[in-house]
Amino acid sequence: MNAAGVVVEYNPFHNGHLHHLIETKKSTKADIIVAVMSGYFLQRGEPAIVSKWARAEMALKAGIDIVVELPYPFATQHAETFAFGSIAILDALGCDSFCFGSEGGNITSFTHTIEMIEENKQQYNAMIQSFIKDGMSYPSALANAFKTLDKKMEAVDLSQPNNILGYHYIEAKHKLKSSITPFTISRKSAQYHDPQFSSETIASATSIRKNVFDNKMDLSQTRELVPKTSIDILEQYRRRFGQFHAWETYWSLFQYKVISSTIHELRSIYEIEEGIEYRIKACVKEAKSFNEFMNKVKTKRYTWTRLQRMALHILTNTKKEDMLKLQEYPNYIRLLGMTGSGREYLNRIKKQLPIPLISNWSSIGEEQKYLDMKAAEIYALGLQNPKSREDLLKQEWKQPPIILE
């Protein structure tokens, strides 16, 4: 069976994701689609609007065959580590190919960029450090270094978020010495961070979430933008747990954590460096909401995404040493759901897997799953009703993989 992989967050699954799924099947001619999906917290340092179980169900009902979880040490990371963990899991699961969305949809430009970087690595790294010293953010420094090197204008535009991820996916493939084949397709209509709807049927997940929260969890304006199965699952989640998740629901917890921590304790948190802990401490006392805090703490040097990830690691009390020892290579693959075809595929390959495929938490060691367990417990604290928290955690510890025949 020919398997193709996709790296996803599905926050929530919308029509743009459905387009990507359909085009992935066409491009790769795959029999099976495997999705490696972030868990409760996401790459940009924010909580998922609904749990990983609800999002896995959306994926399966839309046509994904296997959904596995990208662990916290990779899911909440800068693009390079996020991509490495994702491709490592798809490679471990025996995928023949993977397909990602990009602004240009041309895989050759990504290949050229990888080759150009390898040929000019020392110069490239020196330029990045020089741009950062001049006050640029890391993504801007990266993009400017590429522009300086790319005399013939053949490299991919690394000022675009999907192109940055795509570049790191292919870089990860090379690091892993994997035979997995990369494909890319053009993003349709909406850009990654668009805050407003840009089409009657296609919108970014960012704009969909913004609309849902601006309208007090009313889903009526999003019905044309997501498959009916996604709407149904969102409505079921709201009825079951009483709300959706956003950073504001964790604001008081975050504020307490910062105020009650010493500067030394904040400095020990992953990604906190260069004295930013002093600015975080001061801004959190002045702000009345998470959004206000972010606007106060943001500088030209630190992007919103990077600061939001710092905030997440403070919220989860994730120390530098915890993260570093768990991100060399995934320790396990947690299975969230599968179709009948997906189960058939896993039965064929499970004896060849280089790392354990987990369907039950009790079969994996405490040290390996420590950060994911902690993330689940803190995510549940965002629910206002104590019974809802208990319900979500019971699902986390006891839920077997979803099976969609």
pLDDT per residue over 236-294, tens digit each? 999 999 999 999 999 999 999 999 999 999 999 999 998 999 999 999 999 999 999 99
Please report, as a single letter, which amino acid is at residue 63.
Answer: G
* Residues of the binding site for ATP: 7-20, 101, 162, 187
Which pLDDT score, from 0 to 100, does residue 143 have?
75
Q: Please check whether residue 164 lies inside any domain of the structure.
A: no
Tell me the residue range of the domain where 149 lies: 118-153
As a whole number of angstroms, the distance between CA 85 and CA 335 comes to 15
**Three-class SS of residue 4?**
strand
Q: Would the pLDDT of 138 be above 80? A: no
Helix spans in 327-365 (H): 340-349
Same domain? 364 vs 237 = yes
| Residue 72 placed within a domain | yes
- Report the predicted TM-score, pTM, of the whole model to 2 decimal places: 0.91
pLDDT 10s digits, 72-104: 999 999 999 999 999 999 999 999 999 999 887
Report how many helices (DSSP H) and strands (DSSP E) the chain contains, helices first.
Answer: 19, 8
Residue 180 in any domain: the answer is: no
3-class secondary-structure state, position 359: coil
Phi and psi at 149, nearest 5°, equal -75, -35
Q: Report helix, strand or coil for 177.
A: coil
Domain C-terminal end among 319, 340, 366: 319
Q: Assess whether 214 and 360 both reside in one domain.
A: yes
- For 133, other C-beta atoms within 10 Å of its C-beta total 9
In a domain, 158, yes or no: no
Q: Is residue 34 part of a domain?
A: yes
Band of the pLDDT at 146, cuts 50, 70, 90?
Answer: confident
> How sure is the predictor about 218, in pLDDT bands with cuts at 50, 70 and 90?
confident
Query: How confident is the model over 213-226, as a mean pLDDT?
Result: 88
With contact defined as beta carbons under 8 Å apart, do 56 and 90 qualify? no
Do the domain assignments include residue 111?
A: no
* CA proximity to 161, closest of 205, 196, 120, 192: 192
Residues 199 and 213 in one domain: yes
Query: In terms of residues, how long is the chain?
Result: 405
- Cβ atoms of residues 10 and 67 within 8 Å: no
Rounded to an integer, what distance in angstroms lies between the CA atom of residue 277 and that of residue 264? 9
Q: Which of 397, 392, 394, 382 is nearest to 46 (CA)?
A: 382
Q: Which residues are annotated as a binding site?
A: 7-20, 101, 162, 187
Do 123 and 209 belong together in one domain? Answer: no
**Percentage of the chain lying above the pLDDT 70 cut:** 96
Q: Which one is predicted more confidently, 134 or 253?
A: 253
85 within some domain: yes
* Separation in Å, CA 291 to CA 103, 212, 299: 28, 16, 14
| 389 and 372, same domain (yes or no) | yes
Are residues 260 and 387 located together in one domain of the fold?
Answer: no
One domain for residues 14 and 99: yes
**CB 15 within 8 Å of CB 202:** yes
pLDDT of residue 378: 97
Q: Are residues 350 and 380 in the same domain?
A: yes
What pLDDT shows up at residue 21?
A: 96
Boundary-marking domain end, from 319, 347, 371? 319
Q: 12 and 226 in contact (C-beta within 8 Å)?
A: yes
Confidence of residue 298 (pLDDT cuts 50, 70, 90): very high
Q: To the nearest whole number, what is the mean pLDDT of the chain?
A: 91
What's residue 188's pLDDT?
Answer: 66
Q: Are residues 16 and 129 in the same domain?
A: no
Position 149: which residue type?
L
* pLDDT higher than 90, residue 190: no
Do 80 and 222 fall into the same domain?
Answer: yes
Number of folded domains that form the chain: 3
Of 319, 340, 362, at which residue does a domain stop? 319
* Same-domain check for residues 264 and 130: no
Q: Is 35 helix (H, G, I), strand (E, B) or coil?
A: strand
DSSP state of 36: E
* 179 located within any domain: no
Closest by Cα among 29, 2, 15, 10 to 68:
10
Q: Please state the rounded mean pLDDT for residues 33-41.
A: 98
CATH number, domain containing residue 28: 3.40.50
Q: Residues 355, 388: one domain? A: yes
Q: Evaluate the CA torsion angle 336, 63, 111, 145 in order and state its sign.
A: negative
Q: In a 3-state reduction of DSSP, which class is residue 146?
A: helix
